[in-house]
A and B are shown apart, each in its own frame.
Chain A
Amino acid sequence: MLTLHLCITGNFFYTLFARQCNEHLTQEEYLKSFRILDYVLEESSTKAVLSEKCLHQIKSFANNIKLKESKLANYVRRFTYLCMDAMTTSPVEGNNNAIKHGPNRIHSRMHLNTALPNVYAGINSRIDRSTKQAKRDLTRTSYSSRASSADFVNGKGQSLADGNFDSRFIYKGAQIAEEAWLVWCFDRQRNDAFKSAPWCFLPYYRRVHQLKVMRSGDKLFLHCSCGFYHRTGIPCPHFFFLVDEIDLMMIHVRYWKVYHAYFNEDSDIGRYLTAAQAQHFENRMHGTPISEDHLDVSRN
């Protein structure tokens, strides 16, 4: 009965479409989900629950989604540099809310020459506050992490890195070449609720990721096929399976505390940060930067 209820509320079909947009890592997985949808829709038990019109509507909805593959599918953004898995325009809605209901609020009866300066002043004061906060944070000591980078990286970056670092023990790996490894984790079991129909039709992928050393000039990088570093600028758990250390050089410069406070300022540190950003961008497809020492440890 639970499954029937889930099917009635449409959760199964929505989950199938949502997984295409936020979970599937390859085009094969994406296309397979459509085959699964066709199979489920053809099942006699599905036909018994859903009306002919509803089945037709789901099929035409799926066709519409298929036409927007390049605009919606998750695999498209797998290696998109620093996209932070952005999927919705909710940041715009949040800013709209701040503009319409914040301290410098505007409304539909306001003339443009009053509304615009209000918006402008509101945004500038928010940016000013955040820059001042970033400068105050520079002197803060972090007690939430024991990593050597903790005092130099902002809270979000360090917590992401710590989370991945702490989960390194659940992974297994094998060296397949002098500078290439396979890393996987098969420990996680599927929840019992997803073992009955129709949820059992949704495949649960056990993924094996490949790590390989890449070089650009005299710089060394460790590239992981999961694409986490490309998307976020923070090393993935597979990386930490090989390199048992969090070093500041591994974390993208945008997470450094000085970055938000001094980027693009007319000073030495401002110019250094601008150059560092350009350098990261140049090497964006190479993976996490590492040193020779890190590579030696990984080889052993």
Chain B
Amino acid sequence: MHSRPRGRPPSVKKLDCSEKVKDEVANLRIELGLKRGTKILLLLSLASDEMIRLVTAYPEVFFMDVTAGTNRQKRGMFLAVVKDSSGKTYPGNITIVPSEKSWVFGCIFEHAFCQLYGKATLLMTQLCLTDDDRSEHGPLDNLISSGSIFVNSIHMLCIFHALYKPFQEDIVPLLPKKGDKVTDEGRNYGEYDTLTGWLLQ
């Protein structure tokens, strides 16, 4: 993992991975059909000095999502974006992910973010916004509740992904269309004065 263009400082130790992550990596090797001894690149998490400076300046809200179709290797690109005080947005972190499984996102939040920005900056994060993908926000919720990272933060869902899209997909097709047959009572719906007292209280 390289935080700067000049490479990882020699003082930085290799990441210690939990047993669960080691198991997942072993499964990944089998899935990819790799021979014994073949090295694989798990995560490539990038942040230039300028990106780190912006994250340090505006660490309060992280907007996170994964985008596809960015490379021939068909690896997803995870973006964590920050917003400045003028409303302009900049990527604070780019990570090439091997898959979109929850342990991958766990590694990003727990290891890559910590190494790149430091705990002091992540302490200031107040809100993390993601789409409604449980494998993406599940590890984030776990880390927040365990108090290991993003200690002061809450996680919330994007209302476009969690409200607007499901509403359009699940409810709108079932609503009566223009020209559909409705009863007289329904046709005169607007004329009813059914405002009751308890609703106003």
Contacts and interface: CB of A to CB of B under 8 A. Distances in A.
Interface residues of A, number: 94
A110 B191 CA distance: 61
A112 B199 contact: no
25 contacts: A8-B176, A10-B175, A13-B171, A17-B167, A43-B194, A50-B176, A61-B166, A70-B154, A82-B61, A83-B126, A84-B83, A89-B64, A91-B89, A92-B67, A95-B81, A108-B69, A119-B94, A124-B48, A127-B50, A156-B86, A259-B57, A263-B53, A263-B56, A264-B53, A264-B56
A126 B90 contact: yes
A260 interface: yes
Contacts of A259: 57, 85
Contacts of A48: 182-183, 185-186, 189
A102 to B, nearest CB: 12
Interface of A: 1-5, 7-10, 13-14, 17-18, 21-22, 36, 39, 43-46, 48-51, 53-54, 57-58, 61, 64-65, 68, 70-72, 76-77, 80-84, 86-96, 99-100, 106-112, 115-116, 119-120, 123-124, 126-128, 130-131, 154-157, 196-198, 200-201, 203, 233, 252, 254-255, 259-260, 263-264, 277, 281
Contact of B156 (A18, A77, A111): A77
Chain B CB within 10 Å — which of A13, A49, A68 has the most?
A49
Nearest to B156: A71
Contacts of A197: 189-190, 192-195
Interface residues of B, number: 80
B127 interface: yes
Contact of A95 (B50, B68, B91, B171): B91
A45 B48 contact: no
Contacts of B130: 89
B189 A255 contact: no
Interface of B: 44, 46, 48, 50-51, 53-54, 56-58, 60-61, 63-65, 67-75, 77, 79, 81, 83-91, 94, 96, 124, 126-127, 129-131, 154-164, 166-167, 170-172, 174-178, 180, 182-183, 185-190, 192-195, 199-200
A4 to B, nearest CB: 5
A10 B85 contact: no
B163 A65 contact: yes
A131 B57 CA distance: 12
A107 B199 CA distance: 54
A99 to B, nearest CB: 7
Contacts of A109: 72
A54 B57 contact: no
Contacts of A39: 199
Contacts of B54: 127
A76 B72 contact: no
A239 to B, nearest CB: 19
B171 A57 contact: yes
A71 B156 CA distance: 4
Contacts of B87: 156
Contact of A58 (B51, B86, B159, B171): B171
Contacts of B175: 8-10, 50, 54
A201 B58 CA distance: 40
